[in-house]
C-alpha cells in the first residue's frame, strides 16, 4: 500500500461513519463491512458455490465439466478467479460475474437502508407469513425477469430477496431450535413453514440484567419446535409481554430485554452467529438452485454473469437520407453478428432501436442472432422532411434496455430534434456506465443546412466523451470499414488503459502508455483529424505515421475519416510506451487492451439506523463534501506480485486532481477510498499500482463522473399494477447559489404525461413535487419503467433514476401442484452398455389456477413428453406422460404458469434384479392408473 499520511485533526461526518462501520466495536449486523459475517459475505459465498455446482454439471466450450473433487472439502475457500480458471482451463475475466454479484450485494444492503422499519423485510416481530410472501413475490420477479432476458433487473430482485431470506436465520429462533439445514418451505408456495407461535403465545422469558444477559427461549418452544422471531421497534416498551426481543442498542421495544438476534459476534445470541450465517449461506444457495431449476442453463449462466452479460445494441436512423448509409450499416452489422457467433462468446442479447421523425422504437430485443439479422434486413429508410430526428429518445430506449458496461452504436446523419433529453441521457450513461459511440455520415454539411452546432455533431461528441465512446464523422463510402470499432469493443476482457483530451495548445502532445505484463491486443484510437503522430516502445524503437494505411515495426495503422486506429503487434513489450500527436485542432486519444485484471467502482454513502452500513449513492456525489468510493478489483489472484496502491481522479487531459490510497476491507478484492472533496469538473477514475518487474500498472474508467450541488431524491412504490396510476414524489435540494431550475420528469415508456417545471430554489432550500405514472391496460407484466428526474440550472444539474416494475392487477403466488400418479420404478440391473435397450415411463398430474396453459419441460432427463389438458372448474389439469431410456434414470418435471409461479416433481427409476417381476406388469399398472384418472 501507499505511504501512510499523518492523521488529520478534523474528521468529517462521512469519515466518522466509515470509521464506525469498519471498527471491531460495531454492535449490530453489518450489511457489508465489519468483523462479523455480513450479508455481502453470505451473498458472495452463495454465488460462488452455485457457480461451482453449475460448472460441475454444464460442459465448458471444450465439452468438459469440473470434476467433483475440485475445491473439496466443502468448506474450502476459493476465489472466482481460481474457479473460472479451473473450469475454462485458462485465465479468463471474471468482471461480469463480479459485477452481477455486486448488483446483488448493493440491493441486499439497500434493504437495510430503504426498508429499515418494515418488519416483513427482516422477519422481525413475528412477521413470518408476511416475510414468506415477500420471498415468493421477489422470487417470481427474479424468474420473470430472467425469462424475459432482463438479467440486470433479476439481479436486483435477487439481492432484495436474499436479504430477507438471510435475516430469517439471524432473527428467528430456527438455529436455537436445533435445525442445521435451511427451512426449504420458506420458498415453496402453499407449504406451511412449520409450527408458528400464536399472537398471544409466550415464547421468551425477559432478561433485565445490564450485562451478560440474553433472552431465554422457553423450554416449551424448544421442545415443540415452535418458530418465532424477536420483536424490534424504536418505541419504548412496545414489545408484547412474553415475546422475544430482537435486542441490540437500536431496539427500544423490550423492557430491558437483550434479545435473540444473531446478527454479529457481539449480538445477544452471538454464540449462534457463525451457525446462523452458515445455514443462511446454504439457504441462499438453495434459492439460487430453485431459480436455476426453473430456467435453462444458459439463462441462469447469463443471470450470474458467467456467460457474457453484455448487450450489443444498435440505434439506427431510418429517414430517407440514410437510405444508402442504412444498407452499408446493415451489411456491416450483420457481418459483425456473424463474426461474433464464430469467434464467441456471443453477447447475451442483441438490441435494435430504429428512429426517424416523429417516431422512434419500438425496441427489438432477442437472444437469437438469426432473428436479429432477420429484423435488420427488414429496416427500410423512408420519410424525414426536416433534418433533426428523434435520436435521443431512441438512445434512451437503448440505455434502459441494455445491461451496464455494454456498448451502444448510433448510426445517423442528422442532429437530435429531442435535444432537451440531453441531461436525462447523460444521467443514464453515468448510471449504467455504457459506452455510446456515434457513427456519423455527416449529412448535416452534405445538405448545407444551417444547424446550431450544439444540437448537431457537437452534442453527440459530448455524449460520446462522457460515456467513453467515440464520435466518428465519416464518408458514407467508408461506413463499411467501421467494423473495426465495433468488433474491438465486442472483445472479451476489454480494459481501458488511457483516455485523454488534447492539451490546450494542440501542437504537440506527449502521452505515456503504461503497458503491464497482463496486457495483450492493445489498440490506440486518435479521433479528430491530427496531422501526424509518433509511437515508440520501451526500447526506443520508433514508428511515425500520417498516411491512410501503414504497417510499421510497432503497429498496423488504419485511418478512417476522422479516426486513426493503431493495433500494436504482438508480443507487446511491457514498460512505458510513448505517443506524440501533432495537430492544430482538438482531438482525443484512447488506448484499450485485453486483460483479466480490471476494476469497477461506485460511490457509496454511510447510513445509520438499526443496521448501519454503506449503500450505493443515488445520482451524482455532492460537491465540496467528503465522499467514499468502493472499488472492486478482478484478476488479482492470477498475479500475486501485482500491488494496487492508489486511486487517482484525472481531468480530461490526464492531469491528477486527487489521489488517495486504497484501504483494505474484510474482502480481499474490495477496497474503500476516502476523498475529502471531489474535483468540481468532470473526472475519470484511474486505478494505480505496480506490477511484475516494477512496471507501472494503470486502468482507467471510460465514463466521466461529475459532482453536483443539486441533490435529487425520487420515491415511488417499486411495483405498479397494470391499468393503475402511481404517484412519483421527488424533492430537490440546492446546496449552491440561488438559481432558476428547470425540472424534467421523463420515463422510457412515455407513461408520465407531465410538462417541465420552472422555479427558483434558494441556497439550502428543498422543494417537493410529484408526478403521476399511468400504466395503460394491456401493458405486459414484467415491463420495467425507468423514471429519470433531472433538475437543471444555468450552473449545474442533478438527477435521480428510479426503476419500477409493472405487475398484474392480482398477483397470484399459487404455484402449480404436481403429483406423480404412476411410474415404472425399475430398470434392468444390467451393464451400462445395455441401458439403451430398455425404457421406463412416468405419469404426473399438474393442477394450476385459471385457464392458462402451463409451460412444462424436463430437467436432468433426456426423454420425451406427452400432455393432455382438461378444465376442472376454475383449474387447469394437465396430465403428463414422460418416456425415457434407462440410460437416463433421473427426471424433474417443471411447470411454469403465466404469472411465473413454478411447480415441480421429480423421480428416479430404480434398477431391479434379474428375478424381479416382469416389466409389463408395471406398464399395466400405469395404464390402469391413467385410465382411472381419465374417467
User: For residue range 531-543, what is the model confidence (pLDDT) as tens digits?
Assistant: 888 999 999 999 9
Of 600, 35, 486, 432, the C-alpha closest to 270 is 35
User: For residue range 900-910, what is the model confidence (pLDDT) as tens digits?
Assistant: 778 888 887 76
Does residue 487 register a pLDDT over 80?
A: no
371 contacts: CB under 8 Å, gap ≥ 6: none
Q: CB of 702 within 8 A of CB of 724?
A: no
Does residue 340 register a pLDDT over 70?
A: no
**Residue corresponding to grid cell 436486483:** 156
Of 775, 877, 813, 889, the C-alpha closest to 138 is 813
User: For residue range 91-145, what is the model confidence (pLDDT) as tens digits?
Assistant: 999 999 999 999 999 999 999 988 888 999 999 999 999 999 999 999 988 998 8
- What's residue 478's pLDDT? 65
- Of the pLDDT bands very low, low, confident and very high (cuts 50, 70, 90), residue 571 is very high
- What's residue 734's pLDDT? 96
User: For residue range 365-423, what is the model confidence (pLDDT) as tens digits?
Assistant: 888 888 988 998 888 877 655 567 889 999 999 999 988 888 899 988 888 888 899 99
- What's residue 444's pLDDT? 47
Q: CB of 222 within 8 A of CB of 203?
A: no
Does residue 32 register a pLDDT over 90?
A: no
Find residue 687's DSSP bridge partners: 647, 699
- Of the pLDDT bands very low, low, confident and very high (cuts 50, 70, 90), residue 203 is very high
Helix or strand run (H / E) with residue 399: helix 391-401
Share of the chain above pLDDT 90, in %: 51
Lookup: cell for 326: 442504412
Does residue 794 register a pLDDT over 80?
A: yes
Does residue 930 register a pLDDT over 90?
A: no
- Of the pLDDT bands very low, low, confident and very high (cuts 50, 70, 90), residue 428 is very high
- What's residue 324's pLDDT? 72
Find residue 439's DSSP bridge partners: 411, 472
Distance CA 920, CA 916 (A): 11
Residue 387 exposure: Cα atoms within 13 Å on the Cβ side: 18
- What's residue 280's pLDDT? 98
Q: CB of 646 within 8 A of CB of 659?
A: yes
User: For residue range 70-81, what is the model confidence (pLDDT) as tens digits?
Assistant: 998 877 899 999
Helix or strand run (H / E) with residue 767: strand 765-774
- Of the pLDDT bands very low, low, confident and very high (cuts 50, 70, 90), residue 348 is confident
- What's residue 19's pLDDT? 44
Higher-confidence position of 209 and 241: 241
Positive or negative CA dihedral for 199, 204, 208, 210? negative
Of 168, 148, 258, 160, the C-alpha closest to 212 is 258
User: For residue range 582-637, what is the model confidence (pLDDT) as tens digits?
Assistant: 888 888 999 999 999 999 999 999 988 777 889 999 899 999 999 999 999 999 99
Does residue 667 register a pLDDT over 70?
A: yes
Does residue 27 register a pLDDT over 80?
A: no
- Of the pLDDT bands very low, low, confident and very high (cuts 50, 70, 90), residue 10 is very low
Distance CA 540, CA 528 (A): 27
* 17-31, 613-627, 761-775: least confidently modelled range: 17-31
- Phi/psi at 119 (nearest 5 deg)? -55, -40
DSSP alpha helix (H) spans, 646-757? none
Does residue 480 register a pLDDT over 70?
A: no
Residue 501 exposure: Cα atoms within 13 Å on the Cβ side: 20
Q: Is 839 helix (H, G, I), strand (E, B) or coil?
A: strand
Q: What is the 3-state secondary structure (H, E, C) of 471-483?
A: EEECCHHHHHHHH
- Of the pLDDT bands very low, low, confident and very high (cuts 50, 70, 90), residue 499 is very high
Does residue 448 register a pLDDT over 60?
A: no
Q: What is the CA radius of gyration of the chain?
A: 30
User: For residue range 819-858, what is the model confidence (pLDDT) as tens digits?
Assistant: 888 876 677 665 666 787 888 888 999 998 877 788 888 8
pTM (2 d.p.): 0.87
- What's residue 266's pLDDT? 84
- What is the separation, in whole angstroms, between the first and last Cα of the chain? 77
Distance CA 501, CA 588 (A): 5
- What's residue 717's pLDDT? 87
Positive or negative CA dihedral for 614, 618, 620, 622? negative
Does residue 764 register a pLDDT over 90?
A: yes
The packing angle between helices 39-57 and 80-88, to 10°, is 10
Average pLDDT, the chain: 85
Does residue 893 register a pLDDT over 60?
A: yes
User: For residue range 267-318, what is the model confidence (pLDDT) as tens digits?
Assistant: 889 899 999 999 999 999 999 999 998 888 889 999 999 976 667 888 988 8
Distance CA 927, CA 44 (A): 49
Amino acid at each position: 500500500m501507499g505511504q501512510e499520511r499523518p492523521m488529520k485533526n478534523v474528521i468529517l461526518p462521512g469519515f466518522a461513519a466509515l470509521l464506525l462501520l469498519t471498527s471491531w466495536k460495531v454492535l449490530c449486523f453489518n450489511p457489508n463491512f465489519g468483523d462479523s459475517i455480513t450479508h455481502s459475505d453470505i451473498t458472495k459465498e452463495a454465488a460462488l458455490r452455485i457457480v461451482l455446482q453449475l460448472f460441475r454439471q454444464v460442459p465448458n466450450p471444450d465439452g468438459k465439466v469440473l470434476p467433483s473433487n475440485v475445491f473439496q472439502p466443502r468448506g474450502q475457500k476459493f476465489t472466482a478467479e481460481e474457479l473460472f480458471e479451473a473450469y475454462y482451463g485458462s485465465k479468463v475475466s471474471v468482471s461480469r460475474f463480479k459485477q452481477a454479484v455486486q448488483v446483488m450485494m448493493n440491493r441486499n444492503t439497500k434493504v437495510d437502508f430503504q426498508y429499515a422499519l418494515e418488519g416483513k423485510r427482516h422477519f422481525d416481530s413475528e412477521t413470518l407469513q408476511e416475510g414468506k410472501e415477500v420471498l415468493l413475490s421477489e422470487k417470481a420477479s427474479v424468474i420473470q425477469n430472467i425469462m424475459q432476458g432482463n438479467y440486470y433487473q433479476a439481479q436486483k430482485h435477487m439481492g432484495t430477496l436474499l436479504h430477507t431470506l438471510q435475516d430469517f436465520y439471524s432473527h428467528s429462533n430456527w438455529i436455537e431450535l436445533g435445525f442445521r439445514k435451511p427451512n426449504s418451505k420458506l420458498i415453496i408456495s402453499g407449504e406451511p413453514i412449520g409450527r408458528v407461535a400464536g399472537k398471544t403465545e409466550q415464547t421468551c422469558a425477559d432478561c433485565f440484567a445490564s450485562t451478560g444477559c440474553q433472552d431465554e427461549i422457553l423450554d416449551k418452544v424448544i421442545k415443540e419446535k415452535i418458530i418465532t422471531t424477536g420483536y424490534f421497534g424504536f418505541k419504548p416498551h412496545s414489545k408484547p409481554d412474553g415475546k422475544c426481543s430482537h435486542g441490540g442498542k437500536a431496539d427500544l421495544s423490550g423492557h430491558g430485554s437483550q434479545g435473540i438476534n444473531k446478527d454479529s459476534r457481539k449480538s445477544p445470541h452471538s454464540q449462534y452467529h457463525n451457525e446462523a450465517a452458515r445455514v443462511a449461506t446454504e439457504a441462499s444457495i438453495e434459492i439460487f438452485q430453485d431459480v436455476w431449476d426453473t430456467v435453462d442453463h444458459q439463462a441462469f449462466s447469463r443471470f450470474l454473469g458467467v456467460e457474457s452479460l453484455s448487450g450489443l445494441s444498435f440505434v439506427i436512423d431510418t429517414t430517407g437520407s440514410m437510405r444508402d448509409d442504412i444498407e452499408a450499416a446493415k451489411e456491416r452489422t450483420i457481418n459483425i453478428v456473424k463474426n461474433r457467433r464464430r469467434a464467441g462468446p456471443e453477447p447475451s442479447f442483441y438490441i435494435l432501436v430504429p428512429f426517424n421523425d416523429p417516431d422512434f422504437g419500438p425496441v427489438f430485443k432477442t437472444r437469437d442472432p438469426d432473428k436479429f439479422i432477420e429484423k435488420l434486413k427488414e429496416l427500410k429508410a423512408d420519410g424525414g422532411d426536416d433534418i433533426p430526428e428523434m435520436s435521443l429518445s431512441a438512445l434512451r430506449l437503448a440505455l434502459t434496455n441494455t445491461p451496464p458496461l455494454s456498448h451502444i452504436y448510433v448510426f445517423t446523419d442528422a442532429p437530435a430534434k429531442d435535444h432537451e433529453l440531453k441531461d436525462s441521457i447523460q444521467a443514464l450513461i453515468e448510471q449504467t456506465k455504457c459506452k455510446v459511440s456515434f457513427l456519423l455520415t455527416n449529412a448535416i454539411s452534405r445538405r448545407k443546412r444551417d444547424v446550431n452546432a450544439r444540437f448537431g455533431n457537437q452534442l453527440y461528441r459530448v455524449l460520446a466523451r462522457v460515456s467513453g465512446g467515440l464520435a466518428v464523422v465519416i464518408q458514407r463510402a467508408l461506413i463499411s470499414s467501421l467494423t473495426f470499432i465495433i468488433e474491438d469493443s465486442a472483445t472479451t476482457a476489454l480494459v481501458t488503459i488511457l483516455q485523454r483530451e488534447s492539451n490546450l495548445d494542440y501542437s504537440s502532445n506527449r502521452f505515456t502508455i503504461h503497458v503491464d505484463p497482463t496486457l495483450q491486443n492493445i489498440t490506440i484510437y486518435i479521433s479528430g483529424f491530427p496531422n501526424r503522430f509518433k509511437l515508440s516502445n520501451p526500447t526506443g524503437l520508433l514508428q511515425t505515421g500520417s498516411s491512410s494505411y501503414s504497417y510499421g515495426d510497432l503497429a498496423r495503422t488504419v485511418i478512417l475519416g476522422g479516426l486513426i486506429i493503431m493495433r500494436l503487434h504482438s508480443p507487446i513489450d511491457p514498460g512505458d510506451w510513448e505517443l506524440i500527436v501533432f495537430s492544430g485542432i482538438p482531438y482525443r486519444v484512447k488506448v484499450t487492451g485485453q486483460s483479466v485484471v480490471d476494476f469497477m467502482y461506485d460511490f457509496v454513502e454511510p447510513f445509520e439506523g438499526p443496521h448501519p452500513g454503506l449503500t450505493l449513492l443515488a445520482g451524482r456525489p455532492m460537491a465540496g463534501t467528503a465522499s467514499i468510493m468502493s472499488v472492486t478489483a478482478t484478476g488479482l489472484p492470477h498475479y500475486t506480485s501485482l500491488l494496487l496502491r492508489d486511486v487517482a481522479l484525472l481531468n480530461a487531459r490526464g492531469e491528477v486532481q486527487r489521489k488517495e490510497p486504497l484501504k483494505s476491507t474484510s474482502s480481499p478484492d474490495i477496497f474503500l477510498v476516502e476523498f475529502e472533496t471531489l474535483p468540481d469538473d468532470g473526472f475519470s477514475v484511474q486505478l494505480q499500482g505496480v506490477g511484475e518487474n516494477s512496471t507501472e500498472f494503470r486502468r482507467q474508467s471510460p465514463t466521466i463522473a461529475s459532482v453536483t450541488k443539486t441533490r435529487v431524491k425520487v420515491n415511488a412504490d417499486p411495483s405498479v399494477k397494470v391499468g393503475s396510476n402511481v404517484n412519483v414524489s421527488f424533492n430537490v435540494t440546492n446546496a449552491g447559489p440561488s438559481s432558476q431550475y428547470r425540472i424534467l420528469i421523463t420515463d422510457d415508456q412515455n407513461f408520465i404525461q407531465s410538462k417541465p417545471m420552472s422555479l427558483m430554489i434558494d441556497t439550502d432550500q428543498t422543494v417537493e413535487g410529484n408526478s403521476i405514472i399511468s400504466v395503460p391496460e394491456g401493458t405486459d407484466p414484467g415491463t420495467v419503467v425507468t423514471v429519470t428526474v433531472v433538475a437543471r440550472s444555468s450552473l449545474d444539474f442533478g438527477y435521480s433514476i428510479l426503476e419500477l416494475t409493472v405487475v398484474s392487477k392480482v398477483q397470484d403466488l399459487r404455484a402449480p401442484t404436481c403429483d406423480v400418479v404412476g411410474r415404472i420404478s425399475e430398470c434392468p440391473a444390467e451393464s451400462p452398455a445395455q441401458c439403451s435397450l430398455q425404457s421406463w415411463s412416468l405419469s404426473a398430474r399438474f393442477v394450476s389456477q385459471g385457464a392458462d396453459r402451463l409451460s412444462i419441460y424436463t430437467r436432468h432427463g433426456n426423454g420425451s413428453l406427452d400432455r393432455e389438458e382438461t378444465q376442472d372448474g376454475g383449474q387447469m389439469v394437465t396430465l403428463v406422460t414422460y418416456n425415457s431410456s434407462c440410460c437416463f434414470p433421473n427426471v424433474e418435471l417443471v411447470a411454469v404458469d403465466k404469472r411465473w409461479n413454478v411447480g415441480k416433481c421429480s423421480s428416479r427409476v430404480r434398477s431391479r434384479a434379474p428375478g424381479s417381476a416382469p416389466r409389463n406388469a408395471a406398464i399395466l399398472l400405469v395404464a390402469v392408473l391413467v385410465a382411472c384418472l381419465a374417467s
